[in-house]
Structure 1
Amino acid sequence: MAIERVISGMRPTGNLHLGHFNGVLKNWINLQHEFECLFFVADWHALTTHYDSPEIIEENVWEMVVDWIAAGVDPATATIFIQSKVPEHAELHTLLSMITPLGWLERVPTYKDQQEKLSSKDLSTYGFLGYPLLQSADILIYKATQVPVGEDQIPHIEFTREIARRFNHLYGKETGFVEKAEEAIKKLGSKKSSLYMEMKTAYQENGDQEALDSAQVLIEEHQGLSLGDKERLLGFLEGGGKMILVEPEYKLAPASKMIGLDGQKMSKSYNNTIALRESPESVEKKIKTMPTDPARIRRNDPGNPNHCPVWQLHQVYSSDEVKAWVETGCKEAKIGCIECKQPVIDAINKELKPIQERAFHYIEDPDLVKNIVAEGCEKAKKLARETMREVREAMGLNY
């Protein structure tokens, strides 16, 4: 099988909050221990909606990277970089735009949704229409096999798969492809050559997925094949041409249970967030002023936790024992709302303390962050350049 590579990006919108931490960063932190991971600051994507206020992007870039590292994204394990520092993204985006039907872009569900949500901005721009294609370039340039997304982003990955398929169909048929693939088969040796052909037949004639998986492993583990030969054999296996761009799979991110201070989804646009660098005093003040069950006007009025936003925070931060105490205490009016909120305050401050301590270290020495990002950009560029070399060659642009 091809190396499992995960890519994910985040637009630089400023300091991150608990919604980002529970919804994205915890997932990244787990993935970095399982796969080769690349995490990037999507600063070009930020321009699709903030093209009229670019001055906020630079500051947000560094603040966000500090939050990532402080939260536990490990630069020794994952590659952290900035999208605009790897200009190959833009080159691939341009080349893919030559083959992308306009209708494919217009039917991406988030295109109309975002225009309606951000109706105060003029989003009738080419950049906004084309942002799903830029997103595809971000993924395809690293031959990523998996992309962690929420359910609403699944259509973007399907779109990316279609783009990769279209590109491979148009440009994967190199001159003499079959002859070159047959020569590569001989390099496997007689026993493995026969095995490869058996598995190829089993997959192409009977749709045997297990045979496809086994053949992919056989190709990847063979030491005597060049990268070009491996790609020819992978393409030949699936009945196409040379596999230039990899079709990624989506990896559904665990749904975030994080709600904001007002009971809605935690979001800066609702002004209901707790930032990762929020002071303990501010956390306490914000939680203590959260609305509760409107039926509990007085201390001795019984309530229903399901009608209270604080109960949703208990689902994330409290043990079963504390939740049982809250449920009984609320329904039977044995505890007041301030008492109910205290375990949440304590748990959030406990979670944020080590993050803030690590963040302080990087805030005090900004060069540390810039060096991490510079190193990550170089690693990303190396991978991106290799893909672009293959893309240019396939499109006849290597003169």
Structure 2
Amino acid sequence: MYPDRVVSGMRPTGSMHLGHYHGALKSWLALQAERPCLFFVADWHALTTHYDDPAIIEKFTWDMLVDWLAAGVDPTQATMFIQSRVPEHAELHLLLSMATPLGWLERVPTYRDGIDNLANRDLATYGFLGYPLLQAADVLIYRASEVPVGEDQVPHVEMTREIARRFNHLYGKEAGFEQKAQDAVKRLGSKRARLYNELRTAYQQEGDGDALQQARAMLEDAASLPMIDRERLFGYLEGSRKLILVEPQARLTATARLPGLDGRKMSKSYGNAIALREDKASVTAKIRRMPTDPARVRRTDPGEPARCPVWQFHVVYTDTATREWAEKGCRSAGIGCIECKQPVIDAILAEQEPMHERAQAYLDDPSLLRAIVADGNEAARKLAQETMRDVREAMGLSPT
């Protein structure tokens, strides 16, 4: 078994805003404290929709990395890197494309959604059709156990699992596997070997899940056993062949949804976003200009919070007592809309203050950021090269 790893990435196609922070980055901050995480800027993915204007990608790549650090991503806990600096992503994508059915790519829901929502762009390209396969390669290259996603991205993870399963079925055919596995059992020592065989029988003949977990735990503790033997024994235990690519699990992110200033999804293209590191005066002006319940034409008119975009910001940013005050004051016309907005302004500015402070060090000395990313690129590439060594060997592409 491979160690638990989390992999996630973002496309550098625009400035990061508070919607990104509450929708993804906060979950990253929690995950980096739990297990090894790899977070990458998906600059190749940005080309799938912005191939005709690549100049923006370089700028947004470095801006995004500063935003991650400003939000609290810790390079001592997580590996931060740039996708295109690890060419093994592209190599695995190419090799996986040789055996991935075309229909698997065409059925991904976000493919058709993208065609419909980006009708102003020419997306009749292989790059756009094949981006789910590149996403799969991004995850499989690190043998990740989990991928943090929203519900709309679960089909991508399911397809990644199918691709890994298909690859292992096609190429996990190690010559003499059964004999090599039995030899590996003997290397466990007589006591452990006997227990392993008993647990394997209990799982394969009786479907005993506890026996499977117990055997897995025993193998993980067998530190003196070579990694290749452990891989064989995990496969032999489950009745499968050699495990080359790991099937990741989707980890649904339980995060608050922050709408845009007009109540729609927060997006730079809609002009309804607050940037992650926006200045105080701009934030204040934007919140004060937010539309409210259209029924409150005059200050004395009662309103309904459910109809007001500002209320959704209260749900995310203010405490119970403040929300009760705002709700009561709105319905009774006891407070005006400007009064209602002030606690939201204060909370957003308080959230952004440490972000500005953390970002400033990297803005003052960009070499600090370059060093972090260089180290991340190197660490990520080392892991990717280990996977590609096994992939090439399985596909008969190893140098002779």
Normalized against structure 2, the TM-score is what? 0.98
Q: For 2:147, what is the secondary structure of its paired residue?
A: strand
- State the match for 1:389 in structure 2: 389
- State the match for 2:225 in structure 1: 225
**Are 1:2 and 1:220, in contact at CA under 8 Å, matched by a contact in 2?**
no
**Are 1:14 and 1:61, in contact at CA under 8 Å, matched by a contact in 2?**
no
The one-letter amino acid of 1:107's match is R
Post-superposition shift, 1:211? 2.2
CA deviations over 1:24-59 (Å, ceiling 9, x no partner): 110000000001000000000000000000000000
Q: Aligned equivalents of 1:138 and 1:262: distance in 2?
A: 35
Q: For 2:235, what is the secondary structure of its paired residue?
A: helix
Q: Aligned equivalents of 1:77 and 1:179: distance in 2?
A: 41
- State the match for 1:123 in structure 2: 123
* Uncovered stretches (5+) of structure 2, i.e. residues with no partner: none
**Are 2:2 and 2:143, in contact at CA under 8 Å, matched by a contact in 1?**
no
The one-letter amino acid of 2:177's match is F
**Are 1:292 and 1:337, in contact at CA under 8 Å, matched by a contact in 2?**
yes
Post-superposition shift, 1:108? 1.1
Bigger drift between 191-200 and 336-345 goes to 191-200
**Identity across the alignment (%):** 64
Post-superposition shift, 1:358? 1.1
Q: Does 1:191 align with 2:191?
A: yes
Q: Aligned equivalents of 2:138 and 2:73: distance in 1?
A: 20
Count of matched residue pairs: 399
- State the match for 1:327 in structure 2: 327
Bigger drift between 193-202 and 40-49 goes to 193-202
Bigger drift between 64-73 and 9-18 goes to 9-18
Post-superposition shift, 1:385? 0.4
- State the match for 2:87 in structure 1: 87
**Are 1:317 and 1:347, in contact at CA under 8 Å, matched by a contact in 2?**
yes
Q: Aligned equivalents of 1:98 and 1:372: distance in 2?
A: 35
Q: Aligned equivalents of 1:210 and 1:249: distance in 2?
A: 20
Q: Aligned equivalents of 1:209 and 1:362: distance in 2?
A: 50
Post-superposition shift, 1:201? 2.1
CA RMSD of aligned residues (A): 1.0
Post-superposition shift, 1:245? 0.5
Q: Aligned equivalents of 1:35 and 1:138: distance in 2?
A: 18
Q: For 1:374, what is the secondary structure of its paired residue?
A: helix
Q: Does 1:182 align with 2:182?
A: yes
Q: Aligned equivalents of 2:222 and 2:80: distance in 1?
A: 31
Post-superposition shift, 1:285? 0.3
Q: Aligned equivalents of 1:214 and 1:344: distance in 2?
A: 51
- State the match for 2:160 in structure 1: 160
CA deviations over 1:110-149 (Å, ceiling 9, x no partner): 1111111111111111111111111111100100000000
- State the match for 1:264 in structure 2: 264
**Are 1:66 and 1:369, in contact at CA under 8 Å, matched by a contact in 2?**
yes
**Are 1:6 and 1:146, in contact at CA under 8 Å, matched by a contact in 2?**
yes
**Are 1:187 and 1:224, in contact at CA under 8 Å, matched by a contact in 2?**
no
The one-letter amino acid of 2:112's match is K
Post-superposition shift, 1:161? 0.6
Q: Aligned equivalents of 2:248 and 2:351: distance in 1?
A: 34
Post-superposition shift, 1:209? 2.7
**Are 1:202 and 1:211, in contact at CA under 8 Å, matched by a contact in 2?**
yes
Q: Aligned equivalents of 1:18 and 1:213: distance in 2?
A: 41
- State the match for 1:244 in structure 2: 244
Post-superposition shift, 1:3? 1.5
Q: Aligned equivalents of 1:256 and 1:336: distance in 2?
A: 26
Map of 1:101-120 to 2, 5 A cutoff?
Answer: 101-120=101-120
Post-superposition shift, 1:194? 1.8
- State the match for 2:353 in structure 1: 353
Q: For 1:39, what is the secondary structure of its paired residue?
A: strand
**Are 2:24 and 2:255, in contact at CA under 8 Å, matched by a contact in 1?**
no
The one-letter amino acid of 2:67's match is D
- State the match for 1:286 in structure 2: 286
The one-letter amino acid of 2:355's match is I
**Are 2:26 and 2:255, in contact at CA under 8 Å, matched by a contact in 1?**
no
Q: Aligned equivalents of 2:120 and 2:205: distance in 1?
A: 54
Post-superposition shift, 1:192? 1.3
**Are 1:49 and 1:128, in contact at CA under 8 Å, matched by a contact in 2?**
yes
Normalized against structure 1, the TM-score is what? 0.98
